[in-house]
Structures are given as structure tokens and as C-alpha cells.
């Protein structure tokens, strides 16, 4: 029996089931089972060559040391230029803090505001790390319920009605994981207008999928609302857009009053992102963008295949996935719970997916399919599911 005395908050930390399902799928594959992985949320493309080359060159050029904790100045300037190009906004590079991936911004923002007695609102179903870290911080998680009939967008009136004097932070995410939902501009306008009455509330807008939209939609960034800049944390990064999940590179634009706090958290936590990766990040932002467009064309083609194929399965209905690379079908007509469906799909059909309940209680009745896999594999997976669901 261990005598180690771990801190109590460790027992409140959740996890991201995608990694658990990935491990299970890999184990089954190593036992010789033919597994199609529609579970993991990472592009199945290689990082474009010119980005890889920039990373290698930085290593050869001797960029082996620490960088400033908030990121190389030339990288932060490139981020500001990119945000101007994409969202038409002016961002001070000194408000940009570069971190190892999208997740650290989440962890820092939530632990910066979360403590016992505080309330933090988060999307449910949503990226599981939000609720996990809110609980870890000791704050009370207050769900923003996302419903299929609203295209999995939040309802601004509902969000505003849940704000109390204890609310410190509201987390929103569009385009969204796990639903592929995109929040309409009208709902964001309404939320921002209503926040005027609640100046004590900060917003974390997770825009990691900002370049992954379909049908010609434009991304609405919360940076486009100058009235909330002094309390907005806008998270974005390279992982999804440039197929760079393993490089670990992300950033956020922080309110001026928080920059010093988050920089100190970086110094305490990881010192800085590794230097070659930061040079690769500059090449990604400043180089040709056609690889991004090409990747999105593939995702769009697969999106159409998967949404149509899921709708053709008995007991399954699936709304269009408006963004990211996830379909979130309603499987309640099969009579299975989300976790039963996940297990059945993996065990009987060799198709790895993730139960909607891994993304919060509101995910019951849904399963997340990532279409970051080839069109052939998606078709084969749908075929296999057709055989076990009839
Ligand atoms: N935010 C959302 C909504 C995500 O889905 C993910 C990854 O799946 C992240 C952030 C984290 O990205 P990263 O791998 O860069 O930490």
C-alpha cells in the first residue's frame, strides 16, 4: 500500500478519452485486428515540407537555447500579422503569448481564474479538458448546454442568465470539438452585448479550428469585438491548421492585465517552447497557405461522405458538420447508450469512435466520429457499421 500523500485536487482531474480509445485501438491493432481509427482528433496529413525544413534549418543554424518565455518576438509579430490578415484586427504582439500547443493556454486561463467559490462556464458537450481543469482548480463548473436543434451553438440569453457574481470566466469554442458546430454571429453579438452588464467576467474563446470551416462560411473571431479586448483570451495554434499536433505550438492573445501573470506561469511551467518549433511556426504563418486549402478540400469531401453515410445507418441521424473535422451523430434511435455504441463499434466492427459522454453529460445519445482519415477508410468504416446495425 502506497504511503504517498497526493494533493486532493489530483483526484478531481479528468482526462481526454481520445487518448484512452487510441491506446485501446492500438492494442487491438497490435493483436492483429483490422482497426479503422475515427477516434483521434488530429489531421492525418504530414506537416507541409517548407515548415519541416524551417524547423530543421533552425536546428542546424544553432537555435538550441532558451527563447523569451512568451515566445520569439519575430514569431509573435508574425502571429499579429496573421490575425490582421485573417480577422482584420490589430493585435499588439506583446499581448501574444506562445505556448506548447493549445492546451497550456486553457490550463493557465482556467487556473488563473479558478479557485474554490468561483464559477466557470464551459460548453457541454465540449472539449473535456475544460471541465477537467475547472474541477482541478476547485472552481464550480457551470455547463453551457449545447443542443443539436441549435446546430450545437450556445444560446446567448441562456449563457447570460447563468452569470452570477461568482462567475469569473466563460469558455466558448467555435468551430467546436466534438460537435463540428459553428456559433452564428448573431449569437456572439448578443453574448458580447450582454457582457457589458458583467464587467467582472473574462472570456476564453477557443478558436483552434478557426480555419476549418465549410460551405464558404467566414470565421467570427472574438477579437473582432474591441469592447471585450480587455477581458478576452483568444486561443489559437498550429496543431490543426498546419497538421502540427506533435510539434506542440500554440498561442493566445491575452488582455494586457493578464500578460504578466501568464508569462510568469510559462516561466514556472516550461520556460519557453523549443526554439526550432517556433521557427517552424514562423514559416507556417508567413509561407504559402495552399497546403491548408488542400487539406480542407480533402476534409470537405470526407465530411460529405461521412454525414451522408451516417444518416443512412438505421437508428442514426447526423446534422451537417459545419466546421472542424468531426461528425456528431445522434445514435439514440439504435437503442444504445453512447458508451455501448462506442464499445460495439470498436469490438464488433473494428471502428474506433468516441462516446459523446466523454465530452460531458450532454453528449449522451451521441458518438464523435473524426473524419481525419482517408475517404476509403471512412467508406469501409460506414460499411462495417451498416453490417452490425441492421
Ligand atoms: N482546443 C480544442 C477545442 C481541441 O479540440 C484541441 C485538441 O483536440 C485543443 C484545443 C488542443 O490542441 P493542442 O493539441 O494544440 O494542445
Query: What is the reported pLDDT for 225?
Result: 98
Instruction: List the grid coordinates of 241.
Output: 491548421
Q: Is 103's C-beta closer than 6 angstroms to any atom of ligand 1?
A: yes
Beta strands in the chain (DSSP E): 36-37, 96-99, 119-124, 140-145, 167-173, 202-206, 232-237, 250-253, 326-327, 351-352, 354-355, 367-370
For residues 259 and 212, state if they share a domain: yes
Backbone angles phi, psi at 202, to 5 degrees: -95, 160
CB of 373 closer than 8 Å to CB of 38: yes
- What is d(CA 28, CA 103) in angstroms, rounded to the nearest whole number? 28
Among the ranges 8-22, 28-42, 361-375, which has the highest mean pLDDT value? 361-375
Nearest-CA residue for ligand 1 atom 8 is 41
For ligand 1, mutation pick of 99, 240, 269 (most atoms within 8 Å of CB): 240
Structure letter (DSSP) for residue 284: H
Ligand 1 midpoint to CA 102 (Å): 5
Q: Which domain holds residue 123?
A: 65-286
Give yes or no: residues 36 and 175 share one domain: no
Ligand 1 atom with minimal separation from the 16 CA = 8
Residue 7: CB atoms within 10 Å: 8
Same structural domain for residues 131 and 247? yes
What tens digit of pLDDT does each residue of 212-261 get? 999 999 999 999 999 999 999 999 999 999 999 999 999 999 999 999 99
Strands 354-355 and 367-370: antiparallel
Considering the chain, what percentage of its residues have pLDDT values greater than 70? Answer: 100
Residue 60 lies in a domain: no
Instruction: Output the CA angle 364-370-374, nearest 5 degrees.
Output: 150
Rounded to the nearest whole angstrom, what is the distance from the C-alpha of residue 176 to the centroid of ligand 1?
Answer: 10
Are 274 and 295 found together in one domain? no
On whether both 175 and 320 belong to a single domain, the answer is: no
- Choose which residue among 131, 177, 323, 328 to substitute to test ligand 1 binding: the one with the highest number of ligand atoms within 8 A of its C-beta: 177
141 and 273, same domain (yes or no): yes
What's the CA gap between 375 and 72, in Å, rounded?
A: 39
Beta bridge partners of 354: 368
User: 201: helix, coil or strand?
Assistant: coil
* Residue 234 sits in the same domain as residue 311: no
Interval 20-40 mean pLDDT: 90
Together in a domain, 330 and 374? yes
Which atom of ligand 1 is closest in space to residue 237's alpha carbon?
15
Q: Are residues 294 and 282 in the same domain?
A: no
Domain final residue, candidates 226, 259, 286 = 286
Number of domains present in the structure of the chain: 2
Q: Does the reported pTM lie above 0.85? A: yes
Amino acid at each position: 500500500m502506497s504511503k504517498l500523500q497526493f494533493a486532493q485536487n489530483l483526484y478531481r482531474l479528468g482526462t481526454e478519452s481520445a487518448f484512452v480509445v487510441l491506446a485501446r485501438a492500438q492494442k487491438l491493432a497490435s493483436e492483429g485486428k483490422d482497426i479503422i481509427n475515427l477516434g483521434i482528433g488530429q489531421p492525418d496529413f504530414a506537416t507541409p515540407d517548407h515548415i519541416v525544413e524551417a524547423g530543421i534549418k533552425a536546428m542546424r543554424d544553432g537555435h538550441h537555447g532558451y527563447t523569451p518565455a512568451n515566445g520569439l518576438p519575430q514569431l509573435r509579430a508574425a502571429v499579429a500579422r496573421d490575425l490582421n490578415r485573417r480577422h482584420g484586427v490589430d493585435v499588439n504582439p506583446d499581448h501574444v503569448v506562445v505556448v506548447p500547443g493549445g492546451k497550456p493556454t486553457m490550463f493557465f486561463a482556467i487556473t488563473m481564474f479558478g479557485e474554490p467559490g468561483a464559477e466557470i462556464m464551459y460548453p457541454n458537450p465540449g472539449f473535456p479538458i475544460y471541465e477537467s481543469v475547472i474541477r482541478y482548480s476547485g472552481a464550480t463548473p457551470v455547463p453551457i448546454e449545447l443542443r443539436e436543434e441549435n446546430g450545437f451553438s450556445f444560446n446567448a440569453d441562456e449563457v447570460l442568465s447563468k452569470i452570477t457574481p461568482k462567475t469569473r470566466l466563460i469558455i466558448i469554442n467555435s468551430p467546436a470539438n466534438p460537435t463540428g458546430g459553428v456559433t452564428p454571429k448573431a449569437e456572439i453579438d448578443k453574448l458580447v452585448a450582454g457582457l457589458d452588464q458583467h464587467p467582472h467576467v473574462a472570456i476564453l474563446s477557443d478558436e483552434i479550428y478557426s480555419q476549418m470551416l465549410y460551405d464558404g462560411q467566414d470565421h467570427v473571431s472574438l477579437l473582432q469585438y474591441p469592447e471585450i479586448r480587455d477581458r478576452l483570451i483568444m486561443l489559437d495554434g498550429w496543431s490543426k491548421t498546419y497538421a502540427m499536433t506533435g510539434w506542440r505550438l500554440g498561442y493566445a492573445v491575452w488582455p494586457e492585465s493578464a500578460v504578466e501573470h501568464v508569462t510568469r506561469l510559462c516561466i514556472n511551467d516550461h520556460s519557453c517552447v523549443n526554439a526550432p518549433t517556433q521557427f517552424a511556426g514562423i514559416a507556417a504563418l508567413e509561407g504559402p497557405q495552399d497546403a491548408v486549402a488542400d487539406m480542407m478540400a480533402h476534409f470537405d469531401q470526407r465530411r460529405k461522405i461521412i454525414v451522408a453515410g451516417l444518416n443512412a445507418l438505421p437508428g442514426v441521424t447526423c446534422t451537417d458538420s459545419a466546421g472542424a473535422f468531426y461528425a456528431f451523430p445522434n445514435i439514440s434511435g439504435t437503442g444504445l447508450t453512447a458508451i455501448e455504441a462506442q464499445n460495439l463499434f470498436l469490438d464488433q466492427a473494428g471502428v474506433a469512435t468516441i462516446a459523446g459522454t466523454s465530452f460531458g453529460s450532454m453528449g449522451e445519445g451521441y458518438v464523435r466520429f473524426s473524419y481525419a482519415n482517408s475517404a476509403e477508410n471512412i467508406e469501409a468504416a460506414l460499411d462495417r457499421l451498416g453490417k452490425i446495425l441492421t
